[in-house]
Amino acid sequence: LDAVGALLRIHGGAMRRRDSDDVPIDVKQTLHRAEKVRIATAATGLIGDGATLILDSGTTTAEIARQIRGLRLESINVITNALNVAVLLANAPHVNLIMPGGVLRGKSWSLCGPQAENAMRDLQADLLFLGVDSLDPEIGLMTPHVLEAQLNAQMIRIARTVVAVTDSSKLLRRNLSVIAPVEAVDILITDRSADAGCIEAIRDRGVEVRLV
């Protein structure tokens, strides 16, 4: 864990580093906790009664799920491929939970693969809350896992509004698999420590950026 922490601290100042690190979710959930809570609060403010949401796997989207539990809504639909998100929402009375099939990926507690992609094709959503491992304005949204990248791309195709939720440590990083170009995102919610040049480049690509 000490080695992982050292690598993640280095990431904050490395603009063009290629990242192959696939950090387990139980490690990720301890990092940048305050930022993730603020990002999740801003994200849940976008949710209205009767909405259909997709919650991608990840620790920031799990924080969104925690906050959804406390929303005073009559009913919303939540589509998720993440086991931790599903557990958080399983007994929320105002949530109709939908999960695709797929192969479980232990490091991220997520379902992915052709079964998950096929299940998503017949669905539509108002909002997608997408957590990303890396975001570079020139390259796009990235993840270390090829099958997750393919499923995330399918989520983008079926969502009316795409909201990327990520703390600033993920910006200006590169990773193995490209999910989509930055232009596929409608709104980026990140924290105020984000690199100013990076934020300007993202806004120049037509993305609304909210700093929290």
pTM: 0.86
What residues have CB less than 8 Å from 94, skipping those under 6 apart? 71, 73, 74, 75, 76
**88 closest CA partner among 70, 106, 72:** 70
Low-confidence ranges of the chain (pLDDT < 50): 1-20
Tell me the per-residue pLDDT of 41-85, one tens digit each, with 9 for 90 and over: 999 999 999 999 999 999 999 999 999 999 999 999 999 999 999
Q: pLDDT averaged over the chain?
A: 89
Q: What is the DSSP string of 168-198?
A: GGGBT-EESEEEE-GGG-SEEEE-TTS-HHH
